[in-house]
């Protein structure tokens, strides 16, 4: 069966339903606007006083980082379409010019809100905690001496003033860098002629905050790096007078456009493209609320931007530098209470992992369960004489990785090790290139995937010779093999020795690494071959079950819901009477609650301490509940341009855990959940009278703490015995 046989274009299955045109733009929320609403929900956490102070600052910096990436990729893409006179629209019908206008209006409100939160809430509360930001004129003599010494010995040698005149064109300033524009004149100029302009890039290799010697055990006093440079700017322009100095930040188009079918060497091609990232066209400029018209005109001309692309900041520009405060001891108690993850199954010797998987499938719920079981799984295999081969996909691995060290060790031990390293994982390209080179040097078979497709599936298969047979063990996950994100992202994973799943994972690896056609699969579904078809088939089956009087229900949790074909199918199922609960953290283009279209659909978004990242799909199937985990969001890119997996959960114990203790808790959350309204806005779930507050993430954490206490008590009791 192919996608055309499903007739997804009509978005309807009965003549009665054809009376409504499900292609109408009012039934869809624009993808970019929906993402901005998600970032707004993250920003809400920064002024929620139920969150600890340091975490509120962290949420503020997360929104800035999110917006930087959005501007570098999504806004840049819309600008390219506009420049090339491309009028393509999504299901919502907004053209690039209209969309950019709406985005700019939203961003103006965003910048205003960010600095209100910073100035009215965060900075005053930091002061109460003993964290103070000082200006040069507020320093004591001892402080001024220390700052001057720091400037002369550490800053002055690395600062480079860049003149801007006919002989010195506007410099190519780094993407997201903080810069200082300086307007100067000669002392004897008597204001005749145009003032001169220069630029200094604030170095990123030194801390943004300088801790002053006036700091005490209870008070830490800081001064911003740019304030130090501004104060001593005259030393960089000897013989000139400084008239004005203004900080600014440029955001550039950073999306990589790679013609893979024309690339002889994909790794080398991506390396060349990465070097171009810093040279992309400017898409956004951030300046202070008070700035000279002369500087604005200079920057607008040099960067080829207009007024709509300029945003005004009422405080420090590029807030990312404030992350230095995360290490300040005065804020140690102003963060979330830590918790220790536990292994989902107890084992004294990691070698026992294989026998445990043979006995029962193992469920891993990150970050409450420890990622160490995944690391142990690969590490044990690296030196186990019975292990013949390891095959693994790597999307985002991070800098240091115990798993990658294990793969290298396995290769050195003579095992067949194959690693599919996705070089095109956005903004992780450089890290992945370095790991790919290292792995290749150590004898690992490194594969970069299929032309035109990103490999987003998270799978690891270990092949072991046991007695007279080959036994395969498989790990499948909704999240990356990254020990850092495994502590702050919620994800779900499965260890299994199921023969059919192992066979199908083997087929998938053969397709990725060689020349092989994927045969029909019995249990799993993959993109770009059949995952979307299976999702639509299952949704339609729920509609048919409802019409036949059989039990029907759909639950889907994911990061983003964008694909219009799937949205139409959900609308049709809703119109048939199927109750649908969607838990969509980020982008959701579906509009719930429309009479006659989506009144049976509820959309929730949970934004809290941890980043919700797991993808869980449940179909009632007439009472024979079908539960799946997946690496894929329901987006066109995941269905058509990525290698993804959808895998069934067949263990009754795991199904019961997810169906009885996880999904209901998410749906009951009334602390961090927001409900999407039919007008496209979100509102917090209200705690009804007599109800207890429910924070799903914190309840999962508390369960983990209690289980850890139980295990520790068991150890003590065992020693006593």
Describe the crossing of helices 402-412 and 429-441 by its angle, rounded to 10 degrees. Answer: 20
pLDDT at 428: 54
What are 672's two structure tokens? 């961090």
**Alpha-carbon distances, residue 47 vs 54, 116, 176, 399, 479 (angstroms):** 11, 10, 25, 32, 29
What's the predicted TM-score (pTM) here? 0.91
Q: What is the pLDDT of residues 485-506, one digit of tens each?
A: 999 999 999 999 999 999 999 9
Pairwise CA distance, residues 405 & 426, whole Å: 23
| CA 633/CA 589 separation, integer angstroms | 13
pLDDT, position 542: 98
- State the pairing for strand pair 611-612/525-527: unpaired
Please provide residue 705's backbone torsions phi and psi, each rounded to the nearest 5 degrees: -60, -45
Task: Provide long-range contacts, Cβ within 8 A and 24+ apart, for 549-553.
Answer: 550/622, 550/623, 551/620, 551/622, 551/623, 552/577, 552/578, 552/579, 552/620, 552/622, 553/578, 553/579, 553/580, 553/581, 553/618, 553/619, 553/620
DSSP state of 510: H
pLDDT of residue 666: 98
| Domains located in the chain, CATH noted | 133-331 (3.30.1840.10), 350-523 (3.30.870.10)
Helix axes 96-116, 76-83, angle to 10 degrees: 150
Tens digit of each residue's pLDDT (9 = 90 or more) over 588-626: 999 999 999 999 999 999 999 999 999 999 999 999 999
Q: 484 — phi, psi (to 5°)?
A: -80, -55
DSSP string, 423-436: TTSTT-HHHHHHHH
Kindly calculate the radius of gyration of the chain based on its CA atoms and give it in whole angstroms.
28
Cβ of 451: how many Cβ atoms within 10 Å?
11
Task: Give the C-alpha separation, 202 to 233, whole Å.
Answer: 12
544-585 pLDDT, tens digit per residue, is 999 999 999 999 999 999 999 999 999 999 999 999 999 999
Give the DSSP per-residue string, 138-182.
Answer: G--HHHHHHHHHHIIIIIGGG---EEEBTTBPPP-PPTT-EEEEE
For the chain, how are helix, strand and coil distributed in percent, rounded to 5?
A: 45, 20, 35
pLDDT the model gives residue 281: 85
220 is catalytic: no
Sequential DSSP letters for 462-476: EEEEETTEEEEEEEE
Residue among 220, 231, 365, 456 flagged as catalytic: 456
What gap in Å lies between CA 352 and CA 209, rounded to an integer? Answer: 49
Spans in the chain with pLDDT lower than 70:
1-18, 189-193, 255-279, 398-399, 423-429, 431-432, 449-450, 716-721
Residue 50: both structure tokens together: 């139920």
Across the strands, what pairs with 196? 184
Q: How far apart are CA 400 and CA 422, in angstroms?
A: 17
CA distance 9 to 13: 11
- How many Cβ atoms are within 10 Å of 286's Cβ, its own excluded? 18
**Residue 419 forms beta bridges with which residues?**
392, 446
Return the structure tokens found at 61: 């910096």
CA distances from 472 to 137, 261, 278 (A): 69, 34, 45
Rounded Cα distance between 373 and 443, Å, is: 25
User: Which among 467, 452, 458 is positioned nearest to 393, based on CA atoms?
Assistant: 458
């Amino acid at each position: 069966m192919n996608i055309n046989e499903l007739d997804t274009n009509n978005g309807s299955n009965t003549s009665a339903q054809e009376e409504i045109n499900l292609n109408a733009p009012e039934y869809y929320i624009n993808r970019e606007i929906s993402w901005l609403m998600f970032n707004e929900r993250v920003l809400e956490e920064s002024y929620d006083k139920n969150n600890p102070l340091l975490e509120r600052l962290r949420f503020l910096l997360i929104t800035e980082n999110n917006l930087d990436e959005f501007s570098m990729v999504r806004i840049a893409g819309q600008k390219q379409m506009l420049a090339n006179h491309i009028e393509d629209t999504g299901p919502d019908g907004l053209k690039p010019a209209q969309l950019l206008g709406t985005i700019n209006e939203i961003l103006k409100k965003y910048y205003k809100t960010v600095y209100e939160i910073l100035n009215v809430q965060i900075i005053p509360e930091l002061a109460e905690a003993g964290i103070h930001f000082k200006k040069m004129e507020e320093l004591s003599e001892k402080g001024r001496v220390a700052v001057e010494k720091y400037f002369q010995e550490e800053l002055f040698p690395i600062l480079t003033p860049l003149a801007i005149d006919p002989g010195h064109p506007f410099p190519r300033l780094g993407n997201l860098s903080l810069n200082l524009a300086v307007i100067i004149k000669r002392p004897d100029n008597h204001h005749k002629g145009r003032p001169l302009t220069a630029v200094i890039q604030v170095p990123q290799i030194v801390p943004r905050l300088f801790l002053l010697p006036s700091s005490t055990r209870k008070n830490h006093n800081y001064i911003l790096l740019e304030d130090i440079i501004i104060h001593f700017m005259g030393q960089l322009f000897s013989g000139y007078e400084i008239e004005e100095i203004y900080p600014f930040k440029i955001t550039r188009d950073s999306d990589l456009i790679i013609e893979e079918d024309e690339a002889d060497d994909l790794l080398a091609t991506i390396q060349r493209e990465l070097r171009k990232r810093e040279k992309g066209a400017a898409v956004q400029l951030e300046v202070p609320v008070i700035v000279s018209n002369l500087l604005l005109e200079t920057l607008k001309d040099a960067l080829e931007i207009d007024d709509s692309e300029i945003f005004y900041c009422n405080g420090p520009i590029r807030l990312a530098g404030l992350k230095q405060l995360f290490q300040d001891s005065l804020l140690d108690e102003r963060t979330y209470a830590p918790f220790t993850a536990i292994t989902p199954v107890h084992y004294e010797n990691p070698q026992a992992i294989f026998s445990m998987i043979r006995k029962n499938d193992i469920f891993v719920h990150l970050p409450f369960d420890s990622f160490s079981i995944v690391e142990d799984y690969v590490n044990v295999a690296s030196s186990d004489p019975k292990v013949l081969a390891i095959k693994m996909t790597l999307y985002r691995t991070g800098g240091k990785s115990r798993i990658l060290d294990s793969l290298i060790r396995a290769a050195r031990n003579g095992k067949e090790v194959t690693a599919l390293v996705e070089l095109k994982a956005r903004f992780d390209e450089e890290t992945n290139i370095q790991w790919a080179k290292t792995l290749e040097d150590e004898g690992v078979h490194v594969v970069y995937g299929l032309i035109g497709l990103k490999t987003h599936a998270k799978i690891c298969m270990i092949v072991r010779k046991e007695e007279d047979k080959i036994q395969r063990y498989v790990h499948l996950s909704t999240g990356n093999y990254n020990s850092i994100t495994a502590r702050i992202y919620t994800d779900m994973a499965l260890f299994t020795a199921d023969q059919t799943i192992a066979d199908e994972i083997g087929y998938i690896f053969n397709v990725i690494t060689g020349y092989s056609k994927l045969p029909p699969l019995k249990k799993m579904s993959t993109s770009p071959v059949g995952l979307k078809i299976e999702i639509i088939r299952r949704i339609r089956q729920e509609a048919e079950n409802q019409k036949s009087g059989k039990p029907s229900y759909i639950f889907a949790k994911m990061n983003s819901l964008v694909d219009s074909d799937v949205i139409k199918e959900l609308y049709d199922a809703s119109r048939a009477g199927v109750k649908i609960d969607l838990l969509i953290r980020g982008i959701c283009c579906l509009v719930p609650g429309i009479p006659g279209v989506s009144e049976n659909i509820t959309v929730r978004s949970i934004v809290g301490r941890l980043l919700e990242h797991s993808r869980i799909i449940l179909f009632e199937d007439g009472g024979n509940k079908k539960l799946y985990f997946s690496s894929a969001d329901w987006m066109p890119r995941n269905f058509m341009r990525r290698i993804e997996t959808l895998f069934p959960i067949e263990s009754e114990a795991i199904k019961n855990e997810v169906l009885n203790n996880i999904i209901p808790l998410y749906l009951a959350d009334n602390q961090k959940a927001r409900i999407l309204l039919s007008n496209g806005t979100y509102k917090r779930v209200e705690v009804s009278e007599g109800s207890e507050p429910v924070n799903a993430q914190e309840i999962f954490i508390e369960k983990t703490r209690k289980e850890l206490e139980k295990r520790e008590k068991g150890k003590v009791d065992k020693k006593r015995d």
